[in-house]
Structure formats: structure tokens, C-alpha cells
Structure 1
Amino acid sequence: MQIAILGGTGDVGEGLALRWGYDTDHEVIVGSRDTERAREAASSYESKLAEHGRDVTIEGAKNPEAAAGADAVVAAVPAYHLTDTIKAVADKLDDAVLVTPAVGMQRDEDGFHYNPPSAGSVTALAAGAAPEDTTVVGAFHNLAAGRLADLDDDLEIDTLLVGDDDDAKATVADLADDIEGLRPLDAGGLANAPEIEGITPLLINVAQHNDGLHDLGVRFE
């Protein structure tokens, strides 16, 4: 399967690229607004994978070129760049499943707080910006980027999926399950996205106030 990671030069994009590069045979393409930055990041990920015994080719391209022909497109960009990023690749999505891990947050002296857009959730915002025939799945919201990018970490954490198309959710669930130690769980339709996105600032606050809980994840038992 061909996976395009838009904003693949960022922390979450790096972690996903490394994990899919290490654990799977999927074709991974790193996207960015700048072609050279994408290529440099892709080369860096190849080197990190080589250090762990994996000879993998990762391509780098501008976001629209990365999305063209992909089976799954992960918009691993901050919430405030999400709409513009999706619109920039809209005519390249074709039959791809669009995946968004973005969360709206704000920070004050007390910590991080969930800050949903007027659409109700960032996942709903993505669905509104995507072409009408593009299926959108929310996933990978609550993953600690540093832990994801550490290939020596066994993870053993869950990721919650929301979407209104069961086939699209199944595709993303398979991609998540391909990552060793990551378990996908179906959390229902897109309307349930606010509850999932709101977990992210909670995890950050808990991690910051408790020793030994850096890069905290969630596991449901």
C-alpha cells in the first residue's frame, strides 16, 4: 500500500514514517510544502532505519505530488494548517482514505486545553475541507511523537479510530495494526471525534505533572 504523510517532516509524521518503514513493506512518501525539506527528511528517516537494520527507500515530495496515487493520505499537520493542506491536495486524493491525527489545543499557565474549532472537532473540520467523495478517518490523535519515533520502544498502546465509512476505518485499522505494539480500536462515527481529541491535552498535562510518565500513551483493558 502507498501511504503519503503530508507534513511528514514534523514529529508525528516522522514517527509514523519510521514505524511503517520499520514494521511494514508499505511504500511511504513524505510530503511537505517544500520539496527539498521533504527529501531531506526522507533521507534522514532512511538513515535511522538503516541503523536499525532496515534497508528501506522513502520518497520525499511536495504535498500534492506525495498525495497523488496514494491509497492513504495522512495529514500530519497542526490543526491550524489542516484546511489549507487538504485544499492543496484535494484534486490528487482520488480514492485515497484521508486520515487526520490533528488536535486543536491551547495553552495557558494551568496547562493544555482542548480547543475545538466551530465545526465541533478537527476531524470534522478535515471532513468539511475534503472533497465530497473522499472518506475521512480520525486516527493517531493521542500518540506521543517521541515515543513513536523511538524504534526501541515497544509501544503497547492503543489508537482510537472514528469515521462514518466502515471500509475506510478498516483500511486505517489495518495500517495501525501493522505497527508493532499499536492496537487500533473503533470508537464509532465522526461525531465522536471531540471525545478522542480531548484526550491529547489530558495526556500532556498528566505527563508534565508526574515523574516517569513522559511520552504517555493509552491502553484500554
Structure 2
Amino acid sequence: MRLALLGGTGDFGEGLALRFARDTDHEILIGSRDPERAREAVTAYEDTLETHGASGSIKGFTNEMVADRADIVVLAVPPYYVGDTVDAIADKLDGDTILVSPAVGMKRDENGMHYHSPPAGSTTELVANRAPAGTPVVGTYHNLPANTLADLETEIDFDTPVVGDTDAVQMVISLTNEVEGLRGLAAGPLANAREVESLTPLVINITKYNSELDEAGVKWV
């Protein structure tokens, strides 16, 4: 399977790339608007993996190129870039490509972070509205801390709710569960995305007000 990370040169893309490259046999494709930046990121990720005695299949291209080659495409971009990114790759998507949205709209004030949903109701639903008809859209990975993912010396133990069409959800859950310390949990259809996304500012605020916690995540027991 080919997993594309659009915006894979950012902090969150780095964390996902390193975990999936280390723990799975899938080909990881790093996407960027700048192909040279994508290639530089691949070199850095390969060096990190080697330092930790691991390896993986990672390649870097433009966002459009990796979307065209992938089975699953993760929009690892900030929420304000999500719509434009989907538009840019729309002609590379079809009914066989799963589009994954981890982005969350938030606002910050003196009290902390607050959920800020777009008119569509959630960022995941915005992605579904912008994606070509027939493209399965899944929302997940919203609550995963980027820095912790990227630190391969840190063992993780996180759950991540997954919303969307049943078949696509099950495929993404299966992929997620291949990463050591990650567990995907079905959370219903896309209409439930706003509840899932709103967990993210809650997790950030709990970390803010509890200094002993280091980038807390979500775990159901």
C-alpha cells in the first residue's frame, strides 16, 4: 500500500511519516508544494530512522504527484490550507483513493484553545464537500501530538477516533493499528466529526493546565 502525506514536511507529517515508516511495510510518500523541500524531508527522516536502528520506504514529490500514486492520502496540512489543498489534487482522486483529514479548526484566547468549526460543521465535512464525488473521506488522527510522534524514543499509547464511510473507516483502522502504540476506534459517520475534532482543544487545554503532562493524548480503557 502507498500512504501519501500531503504537507508531510511539517511537524505532524514528520511524526506520521516516521511512525508509519518504522512500523509498517507500506511505501510512505511525502508531499509538498515544493518538491525539493519534500526530498530534503525524506533525507532527514531516513537519517532519523537510521539513528534509531530502523528503516522504511520513503519518497518525496509534489502533493499532486503523491496523491496520484497513493491508496490513502492524509491531509497533514493546517486547517486553513485544507480546502485549497483538496482543490489542487482533486483531479488525482477517485473512488479508490481514501482521503484522510486530521485537521481541526481552533481559536486561542487567554483561557486556552477553543473549537472553531467551519460552516460545513467540521473540517472533515468541509473536506468531503470539496472532494470529488465518490471519493471516500475519513476523519482521524486529530488528537495525536506531533512532537511525541516524531520522538521515536518515546513509546506511545494513544487511541484515535475514526469517522466516515464504514468500508473506508475499517481500512484506515487496519492501517493505524499497524503502528505500535496506536489504536483506531470507529466513531460513526462523518456527521460525528465535529464531536471528534472538538476533543483536540480539550486535550491541549488539559495539557496547558497540568504541567506534569507532556503532550497528552486520548486513551479509552
- Under a length normalisation based on structure 2, what TM-score does the superposition of the two structures give? 0.97
Given that 2:122 and 2:197 are in contact with CA atoms closer than 8 Å, whether structure 1 keeps it comes out as yes
Cα deviation, 1:68-114, whole Å, max 9, x if unaligned, reads 12100000111100000011011112321000000000111111100
Aligned-pair Cα RMSD in Å: 0.8
Q: Give 1:214 deviation, angstroms.
A: 1.6
Moved over 4 A (4+): none
Q: Distance in 2 between matches of 1:212 and 1:93?
A: 43
Q: Which runs of 5+ in 2 are unaligned?
A: none
Q: Secondary structure at the match of 1:107?
A: strand
Counting only pairs closer than 5 Å after superposition, residues 97-176 of structure 1 correspond to structure 2 as 97-163=98-164, 165-176=165-176
Given that 1:111 and 1:205 are in contact with CA atoms closer than 8 Å, whether structure 2 keeps it comes out as yes
Cα deviation, 1:180-221, whole Å, max 9, x if unaligned, reads 010110000100011110011111111111122121011111
Given that 2:25 and 2:57 are in contact with CA atoms closer than 8 Å, whether structure 1 keeps it comes out as no
Moved more, 49-58 or 114-123: 49-58
Q: Distance in 2 between matches of 1:206 and 1:8?
A: 27
Q: Distance in 2 between matches of 1:200 and 1:75?
A: 17
Q: Distance in 2 between matches of 1:166 and 1:152?
A: 34
Given that 2:74 and 2:101 are in contact with CA atoms closer than 8 Å, whether structure 1 keeps it comes out as yes
User: What percent of counterpart residues are identical?
Assistant: 55
Equivalent position of 1:61 in the other structure:
61
The one-letter code sitting in structure 2 at the alignment partner of 1:106 is K
Q: Distance in 2 between matches of 1:105 and 1:33?
A: 24
The one-letter code sitting in structure 1 at the alignment partner of 2:44 is S
Q: Distance in 1 between matches of 2:128 and 2:150?
A: 27
Equivalent position of 1:33 in the other structure:
33
The one-letter code sitting in structure 2 at the alignment partner of 1:58 is I
Q: Distance in 1 between matches of 2:25 and 2:43?
A: 17
Q: Which runs of 5+ in 1 are unaligned?
A: none
Counting only pairs closer than 5 Å after superposition, residues 7-18 of structure 1 correspond to structure 2 as 7-18=7-18
Q: Give 1:57 deviation, angstroms.
A: 3.4
How many matched pairs? 220
Q: Secondary structure at the match of 1:60?
A: strand
Q: Secondary structure at the match of 2:118?
A: coil
Given that 1:208 and 1:214 are in contact with CA atoms closer than 8 Å, whether structure 2 keeps it comes out as no
Q: Distance in 1 between matches of 2:107 and 2:71?
A: 33
Cα deviation, 1:110-158, whole Å, max 9, x if unaligned, reads 1110000000000000000100110000010000111111112221110
Q: Secondary structure at the match of 1:68?
A: helix
- Under a length normalisation based on structure 1, what TM-score does the superposition of the two structures give? 0.97
Counting only pairs closer than 5 Å after superposition, residues 179-198 of structure 1 correspond to structure 2 as 179-198=179-198
Given that 1:50 and 1:56 are in contact with CA atoms closer than 8 Å, whether structure 2 keeps it comes out as no
Counting only pairs closer than 5 Å after superposition, residues 77-88 of structure 1 correspond to structure 2 as 77-88=77-88
Q: Distance in 1 between matches of 2:171 and 2:34?
A: 28
Given that 1:161 and 1:185 are in contact with CA atoms closer than 8 Å, whether structure 2 keeps it comes out as yes
The one-letter code sitting in structure 2 at the alignment partner of 1:194 is R
Given that 2:21 and 2:55 are in contact with CA atoms closer than 8 Å, whether structure 1 keeps it comes out as no
